[in-house]
A and B are shown apart, each in its own frame.
Chain A
Amino acid sequence: MTPDPIPRIHRVLGIETSCDETAAAVVDGGAVIVSSIVSSQIDLHARYGGVVPELAGRAHVELLTPVLAEALEAAGCGTSGTGIDAIAVTYGPGLIGSLLVGVAEAKALALAWDVPFVGVNHLEAHLFASLLEQPDLGWPLVVLLVSGGHTLLVEVSGPGRYRLIGGTVDDAAGEAFDKVARFLGLGYPGGPAIDAIAVDGDPQAFAFPRAFMAEGYDFSFSGLKTSVVNTVRKHPDAATEDVAASFRQAVVDVLVAKARRAARDVGAKALCLAGGVAANSLLRQRVEQACAEDGIGAFLPTRALCTDNAAMVAAAGWWRLANVGASPLTLGADPNLRLVPTA
């Protein structure tokens, strides 16, 4: 199932700075996490209700040295990079000012230690996150990748082999959570804030629209968000818990229905969650339930591997190095990098 590794490359240092997490990790053989350090900037962006690009770029420069030092130390590699065989870094998609910091750092380390360097697609890295915890998921599988920046349905027919099935036509799921949480005055990030209050609310209190977008696999959340705003304006005394619970229910209903249909249509052996929104408790519960009913595997990675981290970047980088090869030192950052089908 896993491809033959290049014998020389065992330990890969992964670096992730695409959004608001500064992360470094050492992964052995693309499969074993030796160390993984994530420094989140949530507190920095909380008062703005979303990630402020210039603040994120500045914070990455400040956090890069301590995060790298901690990851190397925890892996027993020391600052000289003893035992590191290659460097992998996210070069897109993401915030350009943030991506550039990690790309510059990765290339400098590759020069200092004279080891190969490889650029990794952040979305591909998320798909590899599941393999770190469960290498024997069975193929093909369908991954629902939901985060503050992305909402994707991907068919994965093997490591590094995937086909994009569906995406969002407007807001990402996490973005919808952030915007509604901001509107309801629940704070940032919106997903956990809404999750926390929704447990005390009635999910049937409001019948928010479910945008099933006819037969396709694409998502749309902007109509739902507008409906929440209009409902609260019309019913100013509505309980916030009920609004939050009904909103969360609507988002999860659509995500699960489409993911389930996609899994059935491609004959997937398992349905897999990835991305920060995969930490949502209702989503996890519903996916597990749906997969049990359909008789397929459900894979819900731990929170640490759902959210942005560098272990998934190292794992994806190890696979890329073994199957595609190293990147040139002239590689830049690509904020709009897409997932290229290779199925």
Chain B
Amino acid sequence: MNLLAIESATNLVGAALVTDGGSAAERSHQGGRMHAESLAPAIAEVCALSGLTVRDIDAIAVDIGPGLFTGLRVGVATAKALAQGLGLGVLAVSSLDILAAGAQEEAGPGGARTVVVVVDARRGEVFASQYHFDDAVAGIHQAVDPALARQAPPELVTPGGLAESLADRDRGPGESLLIVGDGAVRYRQLLAGVPAADLGLAEHLSSPSPVTLARLALRRMAAGAEPSAPSDLLPDYRREADARINWEQRIPPPGTPGHDRER
């Protein structure tokens, strides 16, 4: 299976292509909000690097967030249109799961047990999830799907609130909390105060990686996960839309004193 992975949930935007032959190509761009500019060229490049054309893609996976709203829209719109144009489905994957899978890959077997993924939600908030990987569940060398290790759905919290709940958490003897994601980078000082916090991989795992997304998607599809139809695929915003209008309302709305409208 030639699987294309599309990543655009944070400041990093890019694509990865994992082929039948087992080769993996990745192209990504970080910073400067270049989602719309960088994504399509990255897809064209990973196909070229793999010696394939876009028409050779037979599976698509996309990071549906939570993350940057405009970034997510670029990634999801791209995945939807590509899938529609090629007659394929799309496997939707959570940004937090991809980062947790990345932490698992980095730590290796017997490594991280508890991973806290923190994605910057702007406006002084973060999207966060805790994962507990138990070797006994899957055997020491087999990776556990982060979805099975996740302890609660992603939450929208303040960094202070997150630090407090992590500090209050029951810990096993010698257990450390591996904290990753761009929220961990931004609120490093605050989170470093949490007992047993390990921020050593925070910079390295600040954004979900396209190739980690591709590998996680392949594992899920091998385990029977069904891709969605392009029409059913939507970003996971996890925050209500900010209902502000693009022009300042300089005139008062009806019902203001002195204004009695005839009916």
**Residue positions of A touching B, CB distance < 8 A:** 48-55, 57-58, 60-62, 64-66, 68-69, 79-81, 95-97, 100-114, 175, 179, 182-185, 225, 229, 232-233, 236-237, 239-240, 329-333
Contact = CB atoms under 8 A, between A and B. Distances in A.
A175 B259 contact: no
B36 interface: yes
Nearest to A106: B81
A97 B73 contact: yes
B169 interface: no
A29 to B, nearest CB: 23
A105 B75 CA distance: 9
Contacts of B73: 57-58, 60-61, 97, 100-101, 104
Contact of B36 (A65, A81, A333): A333
A54 B37 contact: no
A58 B77 contact: no
Contacts of A102: 77
Interface stretch (B99-107, B184-192, B246-254): B246-254
B39 interface: yes
A52 B246 CA distance: 7
A185 B261 contact: yes
A326 to B, nearest CB: 13
Given A100-B35, A100-B74, A55 B84 contact: no
Contact of A175 (B36, B40, B81, B247): B247
A57 B243 CA distance: 12
A65 B40 CA distance: 18
Interface string B230-251: 1101110100011111110111
A183 B78 contact: no
Interface in B23-62: 34-41, 43-44, 53-55
Contacts of B78: 104-105, 107-108
Nearest to B6: A108
B80 interface: yes
B140 interface: no
Contacts of A182: 249, 251, 253-254
Given A111-B40, A329-B40, A184 B54 contact: no
Contacts of A55: 241, 243
A80 to B, nearest CB: 6
Nearest to B244: A52
Given A62-B234, A79-B84, A96-B70, A225 B246 contact: no
A107 B243 contact: no
Contacts of B39: 104, 107
Given A232-B259, A236-B260, A109 B77 contact: no
Contacts of B217: none
A51 B87 CA distance: 33
B259 A105 contact: no
A184 B256 CA distance: 11
Query: For A62, A100, A107, which residue has the most chain B Cβ atoms within 10 angstroms?
Result: A107
Given A52-B246, A81-B85, 12 more contacts: A50-B247, A52-B241, A52-B245, A58-B237, A64-B80, A102-B77, A108-B78, A112-B82, A114-B53, A183-B253, A183-B254, A185-B254
Contact of A112 (B35, B54, B77, B241): B54
B76 A111 contact: no
B41 A54 contact: no
Contact of A49 (B44, B234, B245): B245
B170 interface: no
A65 B228 CA distance: 13
B35 to A, nearest CB: 7
A109 B85 contact: yes
Nearest to B260: A236
Contacts of B173: none
A183 B37 CA distance: 41
B52 to A, nearest CB: 12
A65 B80 contact: yes
A55 to B, nearest CB: 5
A101 B39 CA distance: 12
A105 B260 contact: no
Contact of A225 (B55, B235, B251): B251
Contacts of A237: 260, 262
Query: For A61, A79, A333, which residue has the most chain B Cβ atoms within 10 angstroms?
Result: A61
Given A65-B80, A81-B85, A332 B37 contact: yes
A330 B41 contact: yes
A103 B36 contact: yes
B206 to A, nearest CB: 23
